[in-house]
Structure formats: C-alpha cells, structure tokens
C-alpha cells in the first residue's frame, strides 16, 4: 500500500519515555512561501510513501514545518555523551525535530525528522 502524509501510520515511542529524555517542540515554519526543491524517491519507497504526493501543497507544508503530520508528536531528543573530551550528562538535538516514526510492510521502523527546522531547547 502506498501512503500519503495523511495516511502514513505514525507512532512516537520516544514520546512514551519520561520527560527527561525529550522536549516537545513544534517546527518553525519558513517565513516565505515554501517550494519543493528536491524529492528523494528512494526514501519515499522505504516509507512506502506515494511519490505522487510530493506534487501536493500538503506535502510541502508538512516537510517545511508549516503543518504537522496527523498523529505526529514532534520532539527534540535529549541525551548524554562525551563532548570535547568530557562526559556531558545532558546534550540534546539542537538541529532536528522528530515528527514521528513509521513502520513499513517489511517491519522496518523509520524516523521522520526535519533538520534545521527551528530552535529546540538544546
């Protein structure tokens, strides 16, 4: 089955974790009119997303941050790790907002993220 952004089966397992692991954040939409610059057909195939939907305004609005995916729970991830030679107990994804996860008919789980879509709390 081919999906559109409206029919894409979404979940967000990270949003079920305690609040210490993420922050809810909405993408910041572009201030000017959006336009599709590039469409990755191979990525659409992995998500079982109908390539024809890329010609629709709704697709452009969703993937430019103007409109959210239905059932999407946009979050920025918080994590710990080593940075500049030191362990840092709280880092975070200051460059990506995860819109949700989808699982295709092969059982493969994919995260749908917007990169450079606005400030996060990190």
Reported pTM: 0.82
Any residues with CB less than 8 A from the CB of 98 and at least 6 apart, and which?
Answer: 12, 14, 74, 75, 76, 77, 111, 112, 113
Element containing residue 47 per DSSP (H, E): helix 41-47
pLDDT tens-digit series, residues 17-76: 998 899 999 999 878 888 899 999 999 999 999 999 999 999 999 988 899 888 888 999
**Measured CA distances, 77 to 15, 62, 73, 118 (Å):** 9, 20, 12, 14
């Amino acid at each position: 089955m081919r999906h559109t952004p409206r029919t894409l089966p979404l979940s967000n397992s990270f949003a079920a974790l305690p609040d210490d692991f993420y922050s809810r954040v909405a993408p910041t939409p572009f201030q000017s009119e959006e336009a599709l610059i590039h469409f990755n057909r191979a990525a659409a195939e992995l998500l079982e997303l109908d390539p024809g939907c890329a010609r629709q305004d709704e697709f452009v609005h969703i993937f430019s941050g103007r409109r959210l995916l239905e059932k999407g729970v946009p979050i920025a991830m918080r994590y710990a790790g080593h940075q500049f030679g030191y362990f840092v107990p709280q880092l975070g994804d200051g460059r990506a907002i995860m819109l949700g996860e989808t699982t295709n008919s092969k059982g493969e789980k994919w995260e749908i993220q917007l990169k450079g879509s606005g400030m996060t709390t990190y």
